[in-house]
Structure 1
């Protein structure tokens, strides 16, 4: 092998390594500062988000904290370039009880609010939130049977409207005490009200500090019903929920 050929191949390796390094750095910057992908592993946000949804979360919506970075690196305390979230936002946050686990819920209570659930009806500062009965939500079980759940449209005081499920009219989280949201914290609830560990359960989640917010859920970029394993390429098409692709999270 001549020196000319050898030098050419070494140059190729250097160029390839440089390209890969640039790509990794750009991906890390996008993930830390702009958008991060998440998938939904549980049903706590049904019907808004389904198990198998993949979504982009905007990292810049509320500014940045240590939880904006991989492994929650303790680069600084608090938030920089901070913007306040709005009631009704669907938010990814680090669970306060371990500061590691990513949770996704809807922001219901702002600092200073009093939150309570009475007979399944959400109350904010002593006033019931408007709730309208809709057609049942229908879910196909793995056995093929269809399951039906009572579905409602809930409208918050600021006009944000979304759908919720209330599978048990007298569930253990359908009647709560009054939660007084501390300053600098938020009250989160899942849309699947009887199947969500959220701020109503202090031992699991409780009030969420502003610092723990990771970002706001924006759009579903992919969704699968789980019927196809990763190697079953021939089943990918039928397993994809095409009607959910590029669906905005509201």
Structure 2
């Protein structure tokens, strides 16, 4: 752009100036020649004087021409320096942009790593959550309510099947522990339950089983059908109970 400006604007103007000056000088020389031709022959001294004036005039014209050339060279150097400065600035901006692009790329890669780590943590948390769910006992709150209410017992077979593998836990009530123990074994006696749940005495176990029998959750397994069912709930613990299917 600067070079174009020099060649299209500055240089033509300087060239025109030089050309005009040269043309004026030529016209002056022609005029002098015409004047000389119309005059008588000059003396040697006058001829030398005129030659000296002519040389002097030519030297001044040459000096002016050289001055214009030097001025033009100065303009060239100045604009060349400015042009180089702009080029350097453009290259510097390109380098800064490239550096910023690399930095942005690095930040994006770091961000992707953080996202990946976050996803792994989320996945790990989910896996651990499911492991804990798999290792924990099923929630028997709803099941127990249905059992106690003696409603929809047959539809609970699928859920009750999970109880067989569920470990005893302190979060279960005594009623739930008794029912779980009976369900896991298929059947149980007061003695069996008392051995498993040592914190309960046999009278308490007897009362709870009687309640479950009355509610239709459990049934007695009798060796002799002519005896009263409640007879088998004596402390001897011979009676066995199982779920009603």
Shared fold per TM-score greater than 0.5: no
Bigger-Rg structure (1/2)? 2
Q: Answer 1 or 2: which has greater helix percent.
A: 2
Given the two structures, how large is their TM-score scaled by the length of structure 1? 0.28
Q: Greater relative contact order: 1 or 2 (C-alpha under 8 angstroms, separation 6 or more)?
A: 1
Q: Answer 1 or 2: which has greater strand percent.
A: 1
Given the two structures, how large is their TM-score scaled by the length of structure 2? 0.28
